[in-house]
Amino acid sequence: MNADIVDIRDFYATRLGEAAVRSVSAALAPIWKPISQERLVGLGYVTPYLDKLAPDAERALAFMPAAQGAVNWPPHGRSLTALVHPADLPLGDACIDRILMVHALEFAESPTEMLNEAWRVLAPGGRLVLVLPSRRGVWTRFEHTPFGSGRPWSRGQATQLLRETMFTPSGFSQALHFPPFRRAGFLNLVPLWDRVGRRVWPLFSGAIVLEATKLVYRGIPVSNGEKQRLRRLRPVLVPQGAPALHREPIDAPSLLAPPPGSGGEPA
């Protein structure tokens, strides 16, 4: 199930959403390298995190999948938001230094195509950071948060997909170590719950954070339709041979017959 952009925006405007941003930001801190003079693209609903990360980048863009919708970002000044198809980003090859995906891969029709497109636009050695709902966490069992929609992931599943799409996993962290309760009394204790959860029950975190680096060399995937088209094509510069001339058929025994008038017998 896909999440609507309005529902995601409304969630992050609540106290629970603000607590989620703090927890995910704390999980990003140990693996997020400095991005001074780097070009950053956020894919999905990343605006709560771009508010904190974009000031350090050379430039930052917020790309939002067409299936979810888009909201303006930043709230003041020129808009840096674009409504895109995740498998066909409006960017040139190798022009981005870092991509942050939040509420993106779990809603993708084809996660492989989305990561292939991310590989295309990343510069050599560029970094991809994924924030994904954890399959083991309790957040996936509550529908009042965007982490309860879409496909949850385990660390092993996400790592395998990254390797299949020619990324090298280079960092891992976890977030949301508290249940997504909305009562005011509980929300006051969220910082304590989160700190304790990181030490006591890290396996049951609500979100996993993975960093991966783009491999410089990779094969070019070819779809089945493309393979069929290539089979029908013929090389242009292959010699076709001389055209066959029309000749009368030659009777093999006549080659042994003597010339007319010679009177001789065949040898």
Statement: residue 3 has pLDDT above 90: no
Q: In the prediction, which pLDDT does 197 show?
A: 82
Which phi and psi angles does 46 have, rounded to 5°? Answer: -120, 0
Relative orientation angle of helices 5-12 and 15-28, to the nearest 10 degrees: 90
Statement: residue 220 has pLDDT above 80: no
DSSP code per residue over 113-141: HHHHHHHHHEEEEEEEEEEEEBTTSGGGG
Q: In the prediction, which pLDDT does 185 show?
A: 84
Q: Look at the chain and count its residues.
A: 267
Grade residue 171 by pLDDT with cuts at 50, 70 and 90.
very high
Q: In the prediction, which pLDDT does 196 show?
A: 85
- Give percent above pLDDT 90 in the chain: 57
Q: Could you report the per-residue pLDDT of 124-144, keeping only the tens digit for each?
A: 999 999 999 999 888 998 889
Region 164-168 average pLDDT: 95
Statement: residue 44 has pLDDT above 50: yes
Q: Which residue has the higher pLDDT, 87 or 255?
A: 87
Q: In the prediction, which pLDDT does 256 show?
A: 40
The pTM for the full model equals 0.78
Residue given tokens 């891969």 in the structure block: 105
Statement: residue 165 has pLDDT above 60: yes
DSSP code per residue over 11-43: HHTSHHHHHHHHHHHHHHTTT----TT-EEEEE
Domains of the chain from N-terminus onward: 5-214 (3.40.50.150)
Q: In the prediction, which pLDDT does 218 show?
A: 53
Grade residue 36 by pLDDT with cuts at 50, 70 and 90.
confident
Alpha-carbon span 162 to 164, nearest angstrom:
5
Average pLDDT, the chain: 83
Region 231-240 average pLDDT: 42
